[in-house]
Chains A and B, each alone.
Chain A
Amino acid sequence: MSNRLLVATRKGLFAFERSNRKGKPSWVIQQTSFLADNVTLVLPDARDGSVYAALDHGHFGVKLHRSADGGVHWQECAVPVYPPKPEDLEEPAPEGATSYPWSLKLVWALEAGGLDQPDALWCGTLPGGLFRSNDRGESWTLVRSLWDRPERMEWFGGGEDYPGIHSICVDPRDSQRVTLGVSCGGVWVTQDGGKTWACRASGMWAAYMPPERKDDPNIQDPHCVVQCAANPDVLWAQHHNGIFRSTDGAASWQEVKSTPSSFGFAVAVHPADPDTAWFVPGISDEKRIPVDGKVVVSRTRDGGNTFEVLRKGLPQEHAYDLTFRHALDVDETGDRLAFGSTTGSLWISEDQGDTWQQIMSHLPPVYCVRFR
């Protein structure tokens, strides 16, 4: 069971700790870091206990910090740096821009390498570069084998001006096998630690494209991709216009229909049960608010054939919370879940979502929650 939860927000990083008060579980803020700063992502690295925090200072750029003592002290480490853009390169500019920048805009994904690679980190960024560190963030290298793929020229921004990598799944059986979610560039898989890549979004479809291009794997918008730890061939994707599941390591995807809606950003999969997954739905891409003003979590226990709507302990009247893609997490047992919202609410469940406890209602906008 995880008794500690890290919550990255627009105005700081908050570490919550669980305690028992008169026999009732209570989650309280035990530590605050980077107060007033924009913490876009947090990674607790289970391999050595380090915690990484990505910050976006706006005026002063994107930064990365590491803590060896659970967030008491922080040390700034390196950020991914793009190589100079070749002057003669003709690269299509995103909508409304005059050129495609080779420059770090945002750390949008940060994941630990495998257990056999204790110092390795993967970092997904806007504008679409994947970076690798072999020294715990002291230095980074752009993964050119993906960046130089001609298909990247077809990627475009989803919710941002530029495309970006927001999901990185390292296969626990084989750390050479890594799956990426790209908005908007589909799902990409390497089997050899990043030497070669293949786009694996067959079965996904895009409602936002002309009909003849809706099945193009390379322009799909998976908002978030997660992988079952016990059965890594099973992946779940909350996509821009639906929910998709793969049972063959992303070789193919099948759409499933959730209730009360299939739109959202976040998804979590049970670490031991590949058929159990959770989502935080909104109405649709045009209306990014909860259906009927009621915050709910949808859960499937049968691989997406059916969904339950979980609402006990969640606000059911005039609630307009939206949950971003990194703001839902499940702990290593699969029993505890947490999610945060754009309007600063934080909920935790200790029974797989059957009931929820509101922990906070006035946090800054929540970008990322991670059990530690």
Chain B
Amino acid sequence: MVQVTFTPNIQRHVTCPPREVVGKTVREVLDSIFAVNERARGYVLDDQGALRKHMMIFVDSRPIRDRVRLTDLVPESAEVYVMQALSGG
């Protein structure tokens, strides 16, 4: 199972508790999250399904590279952090 944790900053707008989900890519992991928390999708991804400009996702401490298609591989038992990028202020 992949452990997914969201930034505390997003909780003020939409509740995103930590979850354990299944997924081999960042896209699959997020889809698993959004399947039970659809409202969170628009806060993390833009209307084209890409990661919002000022969001960051870390897989086992490293930022993902493919921010558009979210194809970065996620190892089994990985820790995924969905954070806000400070570039957004």
Q: Tell me whether A210 and B83 are in contact (CB under 8 A).
A: yes
Chain A binding surface SS class:
loop
* Contact in complex: A96, B86 (CB < 8 Å): no
Tell whether, in the assembled complex, residue B58 and residue A210 are in contact, meaning their CB atoms are under 8 Å apart: yes
Query: Which chain A residues have a beta carbon within 8 Å of chain B's beta carbons?
Result: 92, 94-96, 156-162, 183-184, 207-210, 212-213, 221, 240, 285-286, 288
Chain A contacts for B84, CB-based, 8 A: 208
Asked whether, in the complex, the Cβ of B87 is within 8 Å of the Cβ of A156, the reply is yes
Q: Which of A92, A95, A240 contacts B87 (CB 8 A)?
A: A95
Give the distance in Å from the alpha carbon of A286 to the alpha carbon of B12 in the complex: 9
Cβ–Cβ contact A285 & B83, under 8 A = no
- B residues 40-89 with Cβ under 8 Å of A? 51, 53-56, 58, 61, 65, 67, 79, 81, 83-89
Verify A95–B54 contact, CB threshold 8 A.
yes
A96 contacts B61, C-beta separation under 8 Å = no
**Interface residues contributed by chain B, number (CB under 8 Å):** 23
> Which residues on A sit within 8 Å (CB–CB) of B55?
95
> Does B12 contact A95, Cβ atoms closer than 8 Å?
no
B85 to chain A: closest residue by CB: A95
Q: Are A157 and B87 in contact (CB under 8 A)?
A: yes
Q: Is the CB of B61 within 8 A of A210?
A: yes
CA distance A366 to B41 in the complex (A): 37
In-complex Cβ contact of A160 among B12, B79, B87 (8 A):
B87
CB atoms of A208 and B87 under 8 A apart? no
A96 and B54 in contact (CB under 8 A), knowing A183-B86, A184-B86, A286-B9? Answer: yes
Q: Contact at B87–A213, with CB atoms within 8 Å?
A: no
Are A95 and B53 closer than 8 Å at their CB atoms?
A: yes
> Complex formed: what's the CA distance from A96 to B55 in Å?
9
Known: A156-B86, A286-B9. 19 other contacts (CB 8 A): A95-B53, A95-B55, A95-B85, A96-B53, A96-B54, A156-B85, A158-B87, A159-B88, A160-B87, A161-B87, A162-B87, A184-B86, A207-B8, A208-B7, A209-B58, A210-B81, A210-B83, A212-B61, A221-B86
> How far, in angstroms, from A158 to B51 measured CA to CA in the complex?
18
- Which of A95, A207, A240 interacts with B67 by CB under 8 Å? A95
Tell me if B86 and A159 are in contact (CB < 8 A): yes
Find A159's partner among B8, B53, B89 (CB 8 Å cutoff): B89
15 contacts between A and B (CB under 8 A): A92-B65, A95-B51, A95-B87, A96-B87, A157-B85, A157-B86, A158-B87, A159-B86, A183-B86, A208-B7, A208-B86, A210-B83, A213-B61, A286-B9, A286-B12
Q: How far is the CA of A357 from the CA of B67 in the complex (A)?
A: 49
- Tell me the nearest residue of chain B to A157, going by C-beta: B87
A94 to B67, CA, bound (A): 11
Taking a contact as CB atoms under 8 Å apart, the answer to whether B12 and A94 are in contact is no
Residues from chain B with Cβ under 8 Å of A285 in the complex:
9
Residues on the A chain within 8 Å of B67, using CB: 95-96
Bound state CA distance, A159 and B9, in angstroms?
15
Closest CB in chain A relative to B29 CB, distance in Å: 15
Chain B, residue nearest A288 (CB) = B89
Contacts of B87 in A (CB 8 A): 94-96, 156-162
Q: Which residue of A lies closest to B83 (CB)?
A: A208
| Complex CA–CA separation, A157 to B8 (angstroms) | 20
Write the nearest CB–CB distance from A203 to chain B, whole angstroms: 19
CA distance A288 to B7 in the complex (A): 17
